[in-house]
Structure 1
């Protein structure tokens, strides 16, 4: 079947140079050679396929709900701390800048950054842990798998198909941005039967080449996520008083050096400005390292097409060994002083209890869910019912989950 986009019907045809102002490297993912969509659509006269994918993500309901989903702080009342939405925007900025540096498809890098957290449930990783626990008898819960579920099944915007009907390259990057899922590697599983359920089912219809790496744009989005959350979580922790500049400087030497340099260059700055400047420098240092290491790997491989990147057998976009150690030190500090902080953990524990409680009640009495979710669920077998309930809970924002729990008699 084919669909026409009403916005594009009378637009003039554009050629490749007009749609891509910057020259692209031979190993970039070329939109002209896209493997297409599961449901064929007429091309747009004004946008490349990857630009259309980006626009579909920005306009979907799941993206809007990221505004009120936990990054670190549950349902934050402090305006300046990150949410899943602001985090995704920051990842997008870094990914797009990296892609531009290497003459890749910036739009593909952007859509992958914007969509990478769509599958996160309320209450951050605590909510995901709780859903995975209660879903263990029914195939488990994985936020990457749920992201694919959102964009291929759960979004209801088009009359001819469920989901957003994104391109093969976007879906490939969404499920494989951290590496291959089959055939070996740190993220790979032993066999197709061990794949998360949505990825396994979708791959049978639209083979995503799960044994290969994704293209460079997806790898850029993945490492941009690491850059963003490490430094911006540190920023939020400092501004929220979970730890001091002195404490993080003592525990993480390269962070301490950044603050020393800021004081050397500017003297006694306002604390807020000093934090911003140090974080800016730390991000710049890390991005510079990614550029050098990635350039070295590309020079060694000398890929002539994106398929050469996919078949390389190792990640092309990476930190140097020295920077990897620095990143690990910062992660370790944040894990101990921020993610395990008593204030943060109390809210997370309440969030986990809320997810567990909602799941148990809806499994026992599906009519407690809104009509559009609850109709017919009672007649489903347990695995089907559980998956629908997990979809409903995973789509909740922090504050909506709390309201639902209060509505059905839960105690916060």
Structure 2
């Protein structure tokens, strides 16, 4: 791969040529479009770790995304200095690299359904276990079914960016190919003959409905093709992944300490082990408040990891351009032992905390329950639209809650394709905030009005 194409300013779905201008970077414009979108705004009420938290401190997906974006900008700008010095970037500046990574990191969770990763798993579980889902599965080919069986927030995010936001223009938000390439940590379809190398083949990043948009991204940026509908990673996606990894691993640990799940003394010991600075150890001892101490140490840890990850990127640059680096960048930094202990402790006492598990367990019932309600109603409406049995009053009223129902009834693809209808229902459910999903489900079940 080559940097002059990897930093492509071409906008997906646009017929106008992309240009990198010095007054306002096209990647800054990507960032701004994402910030002002409704899908991004709804992240303020979506789970990061603690679903439906009653405290005003813990982070949501919105604050996590902003923090990951800030880290991503630092990483991108740091490696951008090296890239622009050593390679032809077709006019790109270090700040352009930082802006592209920042925009991609800002959007990295934009497709996540309510109640975190439990929402994704609930959709997969519903599709393979609910009697309501079986007739839908029978209407789909294997490629379509794989999209739902392996349902991915990453692929839903790409769908949000290229179709659901600004739906009246081709390519949706029409972000640059460089930003969308960096966004795609798993650049392949759900069912492929050959997966991308290493960790890039762990999941998938686009549904069949958006595969042509991703092909446009891949061709414009010059990604290496691994097989049909599969490409090797854009090098900047490793930085987006690292920004996310640093943000959740370090900041979630800080949240756990703030909520009393982790002792401050343990946080200080592990963070100082990463920082590895006598000066920082001496200074933190002068801070009276444990909260301020934790904030200072967290900032120092992030700074240290940003420097190390940037150097890892430069050291492995040839592998990144070939698309063959097998592991995330954070796996190559020197402070693996304290990072491992932080991850182990977080898994045991934060991510598997009883309060988290209780809400996530309820989330399975909530998401599955809503799909059991909405899908039969939508199918009844589709059957009536093709001259079949008249839909019930209940189905009419409930399906009216789904956006654009009148428009969809006039669309032949929507009437004929179970896959297309189900994706439309999943767009609605995935876009819900945690609070709205709980409130709507309670109303649909007659629990509250």
Per the normalisation by structure 1, the TM-score is 0.79
Change (3 A) 1:189 1:315: closer
Q: Deviations over 1:165-222 (max 9, x none)?
A: 22222222222x35777343233279x9x97534545445654545354444332221
Matched, 1:142 2:152: yes
Change (3 A) 1:365 1:258: farther
Residue of structure 2 equivalent to 1:372: 403
- Work out the CA distance in 1 between the residues paired with 2:262 and 2:207: 37
331-340 vs 284-293, greater mean Cα deviation: 284-293
1:127 to 96, 106, 119: 119
Change (3 A) 1:86 1:364: same
- Work out the CA distance in 1 between the residues paired with 2:433 and 2:118: 13
Change (3 A) 1:340 1:260: farther
Matched, 1:70 2:47: yes
135-144 vs 91-100, greater mean Cα deviation: 135-144
Residue of structure 1 equivalent to 2:360: 348
Q: Is the contact made by 2:187 and 2:196 (CA closer than 8 Å) also made in structure 1?
A: no
Matched, 1:38 2:13: yes
378-387 vs 308-317, greater mean Cα deviation: 308-317
Return the offset for 1:411.
5.0
Residue of structure 1 equivalent to 2:201: 188
Q: Is the contact made by 1:249 and 1:257 (CA closer than 8 Å) also made in structure 2?
A: no
Q: Is the contact made by 1:69 and 1:398 (CA closer than 8 Å) also made in structure 2?
A: yes
Residue of structure 2 equivalent to 1:152: 162
Q: Is the contact made by 1:119 and 1:143 (CA closer than 8 Å) also made in structure 2?
A: yes
Return the offset for 1:238.
1.0
- Work out the CA distance in 2 between the residues paired with 1:293 and 1:257: 18
Matched, 1:47 2:56: no
Return the offset for 1:60.
1.4
Equivalent residues, number: 374
395-404 vs 281-290, greater mean Cα deviation: 281-290
Matched, 1:401 2:441: no
Change (3 A) 1:323 1:233: same
Partner SS state of residue 100, structure 1: helix
**Structure 1 unaligned regions, length at least 5:** 1-25, 302-307
Per the normalisation by structure 2, the TM-score is 0.73
Residue of structure 1 equivalent to 2:321: 310
Return the offset for 1:264.
6.8
- Work out the CA distance in 1 between the residues paired with 2:163 and 2:115: 23
Residue of structure 2 equivalent to 1:223: 242
52-61 vs 160-169, greater mean Cα deviation: 160-169
Change (3 A) 1:217 1:76: same
315-324 vs 56-65, greater mean Cα deviation: 315-324
Return the offset for 1:95.
0.9
Instruction: Trace 1:50-61 onto structure 2 (pairs within 5 A).
Output: 50-61=27-38
Change (3 A) 1:38 1:379: closer
Residue of structure 2 equivalent to 1:169: 178
Q: Is the contact made by 1:38 and 1:167 (CA closer than 8 Å) also made in structure 2?
A: no
Partner SS state of residue 251, structure 2: helix
Return the offset for 1:405.
0.5
Q: CA RMSD in A?
A: 3.5
Change (3 A) 1:408 1:146: same
Residue of structure 1 equivalent to 2:133: none
Residue of structure 1 equivalent to 2:338: 326
